[in-house]
């Protein structure tokens, strides 16, 4: 079973032939929404919108542990996670789709491990490469097949939100080496790694990050960019899923 996590702009997975909807309680509480289980591009998938069915859960209040655990319980071994991000460096312009290969975690106060209550030395996972390289390459290949341009790589800075950043914060992230900024890749990616689930992010640039362009950030423009990018995300997923 393949797991798909939808971000802002992707609360419903077009083309999913729904077979079952499952609301599962986990040892870590309730997932963001019932898992939608069915066939997508000929494969068994489980889909969950991380912000809830009606986009009501802000990034810092998402129950990441319940979402990842519920997928693990279903036997999910690979997760493609779609996320909207702000673009910091030159190539990462609004509308661009990127497959980050690194991240820096600036979030705080989130439940970020399945082992917080039951820790032992063996639980220090290797996280040198936070996104699964094989999965990233498969998505890149899927993009090539449908002649879609995606950026291979980039560093995803994870901020706490829900507010957007200040111009100085974005300057700092840029100095730190970040290419895009979003609010959800952590603890999601770390939790997946704890359970040996291969995880890759499909990051859709919704806007220039704060202070990068001279225009003030507007939620309307961000949502518009996300909406107009989602048909490409669906096309990419349809091409990628059969390769996994």
Q: Which residues bind ligand HPA (CB under 6 A)?
A: 84-86, 159, 164-165, 181-183, 206-207, 209, 222
SS3 178: coil
Output the smallest distance, CB 79 to ligand HPA, in A: 19
Of 56 and 134, the one with the shorter C-beta distance to ligand HPA is 56
Taking the CB of residue 200, how many other CB atoms lie within 10 A of it? 26
Of 28 and 64, the one with the shorter C-beta distance to ligand HPA is 64
Q: If we measure between CA atoms, which residue out of 37, 98, 46 comes closest to residue 68?
A: 46
Output the smallest distance, CB 220 to ligand HPA, in A: 13
Q: If we measure between CA atoms, which residue out of 122, 105, 86 comes closest to residue 189?
A: 105
Which tokens hold the place of 150? 């995606």
Of 105 and 194, the one with the shorter C-beta distance to ligand HPA is 105
Of 28 and 92, the one with the shorter C-beta distance to ligand HPA is 92
Find how far residue 180's CA is from the centre of its chain: 12
Of 85 and 191, the one with the shorter C-beta distance to ligand HPA is 85
Output the smallest distance, CB 140 to ligand HPA, in A: 22
User: How far is 113 from 177, CA to CA, in rounded Å?
Assistant: 25
Length of the chain: 244
Closest residue to ligand HPA using C-beta atoms: 86
Output the smallest distance, CB 67 to ligand HPA, in A: 18
Output the smallest distance, CB 196 to ligand HPA, in A: 28
Residues near 56 by Cβ (< 8 Å), separated by ≥ 6?
none
User: How far is 46 from 34, CA to CA, in rounded Å?
Assistant: 10
């Amino acid at each position: 079973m393949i797991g798909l996590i939808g971000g802002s702009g992707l609360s419903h997975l077009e083309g999913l032939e729904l077979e079952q909807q499952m609301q599962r309680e986990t040892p870590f509480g309730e997932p963001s929404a019932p898992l939608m289980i069915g066939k997508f591009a000929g494969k068994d998938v489980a889909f969950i919108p991380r912000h809830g069915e009606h986009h009501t859960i802000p990034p810092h209040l998402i129950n990441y542990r319940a979402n990842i655990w519920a997928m693990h319980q279903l036997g999910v071994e690979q997760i493609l996670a779609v996320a909207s991000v702000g673009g910091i460096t030159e190539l990462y312009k609004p509308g661009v789709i990127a497959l980050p290969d690194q991240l820096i975690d600036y979030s705080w106060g989130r439940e970020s491990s399945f082992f917080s209550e039951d820790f032992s030395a063996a639980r220090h996972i290797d996280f040198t490469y936070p996104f699964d390289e094989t999965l990233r390459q498969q998505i890149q290949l899927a993009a090539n097949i449908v002649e879609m341009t995606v950026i291979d790589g980039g560093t995803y800075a994870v901020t706490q939100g829900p507010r957007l950043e200040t111009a100085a914060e974005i300057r700092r992230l840029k100095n730190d080496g970040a290419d895009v900024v979003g609010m959800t890749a952590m603890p999601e990616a770390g939790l997946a790694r704890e359970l040996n689930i291969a995880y890759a992010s499909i990051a859709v640039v919704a806007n220039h990050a704060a202070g990068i362009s001279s225009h003030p950030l507007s939620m309307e423009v961000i949502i518009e960019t996300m909406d107009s990018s989602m048909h490409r995300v669906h096309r990419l997923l349809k091409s990628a899923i059969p390769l996994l």
